[in-house]
Chains A and B, each alone.
Chain A
Amino acid sequence: MGTFIFRRVLVAMSVALTISIVSFMLLHLSGDLATSIAGPEATAEQVEQIRIDYGLDQPIVNQYLDWLGGALTFDFGHSYYYQSTVVDLIVDRMPITLTLGGVALALAVSISIPLGVLAALKRDTWVDRLALLFAVVGQAMPSFWFGLTLIVVFAVTLQWLPAAGSDGWQHFVLPAIALGYYATPAMMRLTRTGMLEVLESDYIRTARAKGLRTGAVIFKHALRNAIIPVVALAAVELGFMLGGSVVIESVFSLNGLGQLAWDAISRNDYPVVQAVVLIIALFYIVLTLLADVANAALDPRIRTR
């Protein structure tokens, strides 16, 4: 298990490095950064001045190594737009996105797993069909549209919850529902198919042959095995939700990382863009790593080889 994790961490670190190189190159090769920073009204001299001030006249490899040297000591430079370091901005915004993602995931897990189990147990009945409908709608509906619907119904019409802002827990309810619903269908379907498969297996027949109670057969013997791939998926889904929160954060005016990334892109705030891309990539990597570790922890066939 120890070497397993060590190997996975090494792989994860090289993936992170590669992503940072690629995103840096894409950003710098997508056009002349100095011109877009200076804006349309700037003179040629001003553009040249900016090029020198921002170090954009240096060879791109040097620029990257500079950036990487800073990044390794958590110094991502200054924002071009805010009067603040990139690190301060991220530290400021991150809790909002993490809270949103965490609550959304908790919501998605606590709905999709019971629903998936129920659909499998009530296979081909109206319960199963209803669950399927719930999943199809979730997959088909764009999350911004669902978010707007929630605002119209619960914030504007019923006035139960606030529509925008991030001051208290109430502000997270609607966005978490919007984001969580987005992750529910895939997890529910995976739980359902996993349960159906496991319930047909020989060891479930053995468990029943022992006279175990239905609850023990379903939860101890079936769900325990069906859930293994769902746990891995949940980690990946959390990654998607952190990415997907760009949309939800702007719909609900939550000042999280997603909003920060969006603003930075539209304002040519490149240091912020580069840092946020790296952070999101790191999240993905850590989450897939966690998924692998969780998989190994849950499956003795991987754990004890």
Chain B
Amino acid sequence: MSRLEVNNLLEVNNLLEVNNLRVDLPVEAGTLHAVRGIDFHVERGEMLCLVGESGCGKSMTSLALMGLLPRKARLTADRLQFDGIDLTTLPERRRSDLRGARMSMIFQEPMTALNPAYTLGNQLCEGLIRHRGVSRREARDRALYLLERVGISAAKDRLEQYPHQLSGGLRQRVMIAMALMCEPDLIIADEPTTALDVTIQAQILRLLRELQQEFGTAVIFITHDLGVVARIADRVAVMYAGEMIESAPTPALYANPAHPYTRGLLSCIPAPGKTPPGSRLQAIPGVVPSLVGSVEGCAFRNRCPQAQPACERTPPLMSLPGDHRARCHYADRPVPAPLQPEMSS
């Protein structure tokens, strides 16, 4: 039995296993390392929330999982396994058998994600017909059921409508129904509510959570908002500049954030009901380092309020009690007290 097969047996409970995933993009200035060796896993039926500022590599990570990276992008990984299937070596044909059938995706922009030339019914049904070989009738029945399930009224008429006849919120509901057509094991939702207005956001979020629990589908929910959004997840993983800097069960992350970046994000969150809707969160001062070329030491160093000389070395991913990990030299111990006060005492 090969080592890989042993691993498969050992890890068979995790739906998704990702080790040292990298995504590189050639750009004019050199190579942009959009994803810099991240590790994470997704358990069956759980909701993992992937949080990070815009540009930190969340979309590239999700496209890498789906096998939909831009053509020029290069992917490497020590392990990229979906339900025991090695995705790094899977030929494109087999990969497309998985897409839409066992793993599906909901995108950020509901306004452009649907083909303007075809009816919703047509676009809802085609995946099921392709993967399951069902008749058009059966596919329509399932589409009808799911449209009702995602809260669309007059679903029968909607099947005959075109995308431009629906609002953004409704289109995103259609996208959710579409993602569910083949009863996938995993749904990747890449900022599905970012483009929608606040009240609709909450509705869509609640809907996704409900469906995830009802159908037992694992969900990777991507967001840049560590506020309300991330709280609904079972676990939260925080990304910064292409790295995974902290991951923990949701309660642990909110109670004991171990990474200064996570703490910064949490302190930016206004108390519920205290800010007018749509107002921008106060951001952590400083800028994200360029993703072109390599980053020396801790990537957060230039913005970290507790940076130490030791931070010029790249911090390891520290394991903390209770499935909690953080990439910071001081994740498991206090920052050394500054020298200055000691001398003056």
Contacts and interface: CB of A to CB of B under 8 A. Distances in A.
Given A210-B126, A211-B101, A221 B115 contact: yes
Contacts of A212: 96, 100, 126-127, 130
Contacts of B130: 210-213, 216
A207 B290 CA distance: 32
B206 interface: no
B24 interface: no
- SS of A interface (majority): helix
Interface string B65-102: 01010000000000000000000000000001111110
Contacts of A298: 117
Interface stretch (A85-93, A132-140, A198-206, A245-253): A198-206
A208 interface: yes
B35 interface: no
A207 B66 CA distance: 12
Contacts of B127: 210-212
Contacts of B114: 203, 206
A251 B234 CA distance: 78
A210 B127 CA distance: 6
Find the residue from B100, B105, B115, B131 having the highest chain A CB count within 10 A: B115
A122 interface: no
Interface string B292-324: 000000000000000000000000000000000
A295 B314 CA distance: 58
Find the residue from A203, A205, A216 having the highest chain B CB count within 10 A: A203
A301 interface: yes
A300 B68 CA distance: 28
A73 interface: no
A203 B68 contact: no
Nearest to A123: B71
Given A205-B68, A212-B127, A299 B100 contact: no
B104 interface: yes
Contacts of A129: none
B107 interface: yes
B164 A201 contact: no
A216 B114 CA distance: 15
A301 B96 contact: no
Nearest to B70: A200
A221 B131 CA distance: 17
B254 interface: no
Given A298-B117, A299-B116, A209 B97 contact: no
Given A202-B109, A216-B126, A300-B162, A209 B100 contact: yes
B98 A211 contact: yes
Contacts of B118: 220-221, 224
Contacts of B13: none
Interface in B107-122: 107, 109, 112-118
A304 interface: yes
A213 B133 CA distance: 13
Given A212-B96, A224-B117, A301-B162, A205 B107 contact: yes
A35 interface: no
Interface residues on B, range: 20 to 34
A304 B120 CA distance: 14
Contact of B115 (A203, A209, A304): A203
Contacts, number: 77
Given A202-B109, A203-B116, A208 B162 contact: no
A208 B104 CA distance: 10
Contacts of A49: none
A304 B164 CA distance: 9
Find the residue from B101, B112, B117, B131 having the highest chain A CB count within 10 A: B117
A202 B113 contact: yes
A299 B117 CA distance: 6
Given A209-B99, A210-B126, A212-B126, A304 B162 contact: yes
A301 B100 contact: no
B99 A211 contact: yes
B186 interface: no
A203 B113 contact: yes
A268 interface: no
B165 interface: yes
Contacts of B113: 202-203, 205-206
Contacts of A225: 115-117
Contact of A211 (B107, B131, B162, B165): B131
A206 B131 CA distance: 15
A18 B282 CA distance: 64
A209 B104 contact: yes
Contacts of A224: 115, 117-118
B178 interface: yes
Contacts of B165: 304
A111 B205 CA distance: 49
A220 to B, nearest CB: 8
A303 to B, nearest CB: 9
Nearest to A201: B112
A208 B130 CA distance: 12
Contacts of B109: 202
Find the residue from A207, A211, A212, A224 having the highest chain B CB count within 10 A: A211
Given A202-B107, A202-B109, A211 B115 contact: no
B164 A300 contact: yes
A203 B162 CA distance: 13
Nearest to B160: A304
A237 B159 CA distance: 37
A73 to B, nearest CB: 44
Given A205-B107, A211-B131, 9 more contacts: A205-B68, A211-B97, A212-B96, A224-B117, A225-B117, A299-B117, A301-B116, A301-B162, A301-B164
7 contacts: A201-B112, A202-B113, A203-B112, A203-B114, A212-B100, A221-B115, A225-B116
Closest 9 CB pairs of A and B: A211-B100, A211-B99, A210-B100, A210-B127, A202-B112, A300-B162, A203-B115, A209-B105, A211-B96
